[in-house]
Structure 1
Amino acid sequence: MFSLKQTFLLILLAITAQATCAAEPIANTADLVAAVRDAAEGTTIEIAAGVYELSAPLEPKAGVTLQGAGMEQTILTHVAGWKPSVQTLPDPEMTTKGMDTQAYLIRLQDKADGITVSHMTLRGPQLHGAIFGWKNADLHLHHLRIQDTLWTGVRTFSMKGAKIHDCEFIDAGGRWKRGGEPGVDGGITGGAIFAIWMADSEIAHNRFVRTQMDKANEFYGVKVRQGKRCRVHHNTIGVNFSLEFPFENDEDVEIDHNVCTGTISIPKHSGGPVPESGRTFHIHHNWMRDSYSIEFVRNGVEIDHNLFDFDLQKDHGNLISGFGKAPAKGPATFHNNLISNPGRGVIWINEPYNQLVIRNNHIITRTTATPRTEGLFGFHADCDFKTFVIRDNIIECQGEARPLLRRDESYGSVIRNNRLTNVSDIARYDNPPSEEPAGLEQPLKFTCGVHDEFTINGWQAQPSTSP
């Protein structure tokens, strides 16, 4: 015989088991809308495989999890009649005033923390984006396919502690047209992930694919207006501007182990302040594919252990390009990189810049399509060249000879222990040897891209083999 206490516990267990068994995944749109509307904070809502056509955004509360059955199994999209106007696009970027925050499949409730959305496809060919959020801490987005959105994929303000990983962004923005005019108007400033004031967040193992947009227009894989203590790593970004962190005061942003077919843009007027840590950006262990790889200027930057691997037929860019006019104090270091086939050059900075160290790189130039004959490094005449150091590099010009420097004043730089082959201006500067080794301090070998899909071994980049 059971005691009264034991009997009570058995009844409680039976009721709990019955309730658990009765909790079936949501299987139709009406139930999904009701479940999200009525869910208590912290509820997990499972959504069965199927297509769910919404006529207004889902608005999950704090702690709510929306979990589908998998990409291309659970598909959230919109009814034909839900077609927000594009007259508010491009949106105003730094404010929600004048922005249509309801033109998204999922609009997180303001200041609702701890929301998770996973394992589904969000498709919005008529909507501005897939997910919008304002001041949502600890947002977790994973195993999502975000596809065919007009302006952006994920649009957030004041995002802290976020994790966005294992997602696919396919034509997720930059596709809107104004009225019946031909062409794509919206690809200039939109981004698949477009975050304003992002801190303590991680973006990793995501794939960004662009198939439908006008190739003449710019579009960003990840665009952030101010990032602090964030890491963007192991992404494969197949758009023409891979990452952009423009204008605001960024600090301790790490960009590593990505495959970037486009530019990483980090410009700031006068280079911006350097935080207490001494570093604004650390860009390392990336495979960069476009000769216009990094848009400058920024102070407090370290760029190292990357493979810059460019097509001889696409020699349009300087690897690092600075287009501004306001003097910047630096510092920046560029070291232990492999550079194959720089186009116009390796570094060109229009504005005066100080405290630049270029060391232990291996650069191989070959005759390009144009062909390019400029000096590999071009700097403003007003730079403080006493603070420029070019040392311990290996520079080989195969085919067309090229000078090291473009401007007479640049020869005031500290130049030493570089191993130079077919460099045409060697008579214009001393290059005293030292006992330090030239070139990379260690062989370059790393993996990069979504779940380490590529292996970089010296100059070679190959698909990684499964263990």
Structure 2
Amino acid sequence: MTTNNATLFAAAISLTLCSPAIYAGQSVTSASALVAAVRDGEEGTTIEIAAGTYQMEAPLEPKARMILKGAGMDKTIITQLAGWKPPTKTLPDPEMTTEGMDTRAYLIRLTDKADGITISDLTLLGPQLHGAIYGWEPLNLHLHHLRIQDTLWCGIRSFGMKGAKIHDCEFIDAGGRWDKGEPGLKGGITGGAIFSVWMSDTEIADNRFERTQTAAADEFYGIKGREAKRCHIHHNTIGVNFSMEFPFDNNEDVEIDHNVCRGVISIPKHAGGSVPPSGSTCHIHHNWMTTSYAIEFPRNGVEIDHNLFDFEVKDDGGNLISSFAQESAPGPVRFHNNLVNNPGRGVIWLNEVFNNVEIRNNHIRTRTTPTPRTEGLFGFSPGCDFKTITIQDNVIECEGQMRPLLRCKESYGAVIRNNTLSKVSDTDQYENPRTGKVIGLEQPLKFACGVHGGFTVDGWQAKPSAR
């Protein structure tokens, strides 16, 4: 072989070894190889990452249709080098814009507008980073079997995410606490494990959220959104004090079901927000919720049904549905076929005028609380149009301390009929005529909820599902 031919041959071998194809079907085993594979790989490349710990000094930036697959969330760990420590002066980030936000303070920064990226079977650990994954308008993103752990402000941060699937992931201390004991900093109350602005056509399912490293009173969101359309959030176990927050306008057909929520679902909007053509902003059903401050309003076009609201007697500080707003909201809201155990201050308290409220076929039972709570179970503004507020076909039982049904005298103008009331103290204020319709739940309440149906609700009882 001539010298020139030998040189060309060696160059060809070198190009072959460095080409993206070498990573398809083979595992990278070092941080430098991983960086090279993602940087040099073509769109659609599959990069398998062997077991081990990979320390990064800058974000990985996968391209469209790339697949990053580890050997398992307990085996493949991607984290940062000690020297990679983005400043926290940009936290909390501006939330609705990237201006003033450090989009490179993440382990993985998706290529802007990339379609079809998949990341799975590994742990993303970022104790010094703002978050784990950042994306601008990702399309058909698929994240599964990831553990995202110990990030400063959020786990997954996205703008304009469409068609995503996020499932079978664990979010452990994935944001919400960015001060890290640094002098002069006080923060960490608004972050979230998944924080998505303008999210649509997305499924978030079978994920586990928990927080272990900070005080329980510190706010932290499991799923935080700013406008969500046609999104389905189901079978998650969310063990943080703000399970979800969707407070902006233009929410449309957001279905929240079969979750275990240890904290509030917050969906407020000024004057209740607009109602889409479908008539539904949020449908909250078949969830097991365990804190008396369970749902934050106002929001128009909401249906809340077939949930178990199961609160400890001592957990009496909240109203199940609470609204602190001032501007009038036209509604509607439908609250039906729920079981409510120990509702604390009450079932519904709406500070502002809120009309078109339907409360029917629920079973509500109260017990004497440590306070004890004596206020009415339903609190409405005196300015409501009470002809549009209906309380009917419910079973309401007060055990121990008697409670009134309503809090203000104007409320007695509501449509109140066909309820079974036990130890309710204000029954002389309304007629409550019988209609012959079903009183209480229209069907027994039984469903599985949480990650892969790990809990079963059967009437008033919720317990681990039999396997």
Relative to the length of structure 2, the TM-score reads 0.94
Could you tell me how far 1:216 is from its partner in structure 2?
Answer: 2.6
Aligned to 1:406, the other structure's residue is in SS state coil
1:438 and 2:466 equivalent?
no
The alpha carbon displacement at 1:418 in A equals: 0.2
Match of 1:166 among 165, 168, 172: 168
Q: Residues 319 and 22 of structure 1: is their aligned pair in 2 closer, same or farther, counting only changes over 3 Å?
A: closer
Counterpart amino acid of residue 445 in structure 1: K
Question: In structure 2, what is the Cα distance between the partners aligned to 1:407 and 1:356?
Answer: 16
Identity, % of aligned positions: 69
Structure 1: distance between partners of 2:47 and 2:22: 13
Matched, 1:252 2:228: no
1:78 is matched with which residue: 77, 80, 83? Answer: 80
Instruction: Give 1:369 shift.
Output: 1.5
Q: Is the 8 A contact 2:125 2:150 kept in 1?
A: yes
Quote the Cα distance in structure 1 between the aligned partners of 2:382 and 2:49. Answer: 62
Q: Which residue of 1 aligns with 2:14?
A: none
Q: Deviations over 1:90-114 (max 9, x none)?
A: 0000000000000000000111111
Distance 2:371 2:181 in 1: 40
Partner of 1:16: none
What does residue 32 of structure 1 align with? 34
In the TM superposition, structure 1's runs of 4+ consecutive aligned residues that sit over 3 Å from their partners are 19-23
| Structure 1: tracts of 5 or more residues without a match | 1-18
User: For the residues of structure 2 that align with 1:181 and 1:305, how far apart are their CA atoms?
Assistant: 48
Deviation per CA, 1:366-421, whole angstroms, max 9, x where unpaired? 00121111100000011110000000000000000000000010000000000000
The amino acid across from 2:177 in the alignment is: R
What's 1:59 paired with? 61
Contact 1:87 1:178 in 2 (8 A): no
Q: Which residue of 1 aligns with 2:119?
A: 117
Q: Distance in 1 between matches of 2:228 and 2:353?
A: 25
Deviation at 1:314, TM superposition (A): 1.4
Determine the structure 2 residue equivalent to 1:345. Answer: 346
Q: Offset at 1:423?
A: 0.1
Residue of structure 2 in register with 1:135 after alignment:
137
- What is the number of equivalent residue pairs in this alignment? 447
Match of 1:98 in 2: 100
Q: Can you list the C-alpha shifts for 1:100-135, whole angstroms capped at 9, x where unaligned? A: 000000000111111000000000000000000001
Asked if structure 2 preserves the Cα contact closer than 8 Å seen for 1:164 and 1:204, the reply is: yes
Q: Deviations over 1:190-247 (max 9, x none)?
A: 1000000000000000000100123232110000000000000000000000000012
Query: Residue in 1 aligned with 2:463?
Result: 462
Structure 2 gaps, min length 5: 1-20
Query: Equivalent residue for 2:377?
Result: 376
Counterpart of 1:271? 272
Matching residue's letter, 1:38: D
SS of residue paired to 1:159: coil
Deviation of 1:22 after TM superposition, in Å, equals 8.9
Mapped contact 2:25–2:48 kept (Cα < 8 A)? no
Contact 2:23 2:47 in 1 (8 A): no
Q: Compute the displacement of 1:23 (Å).
A: 4.5
Once the two structures are TM-superposed, the CA of residue 180 in structure 1 deviates from its matched residue by 2.7
The TM-score, its normalising length taken from structure 1, stands at 0.94
Provide the rounded CA distance (Å) in 1 between the counterparts of 2:186 and 2:462: 35
- RMSD between aligned residues: 1.3
Q: 1:22 to 1:150 in 2, by over 3 A?
A: closer
The answer to whether the Cα contact below 8 Å between 2:90 and 2:101 also exists between their aligned partners in 1 is yes
CA distance in 2, matches of 1:174, 1:208: 13
Hey, what's the Cα distance between the residues in 2 that align with 1:339 and 1:22?
A: 54
State the Cα deviation string for residues 262-297 of structure 1 (Å, max 9, x = none).
000000000011111011000000000000000001
Say whether residues 1:186 and 2:191 are aligned partners: no
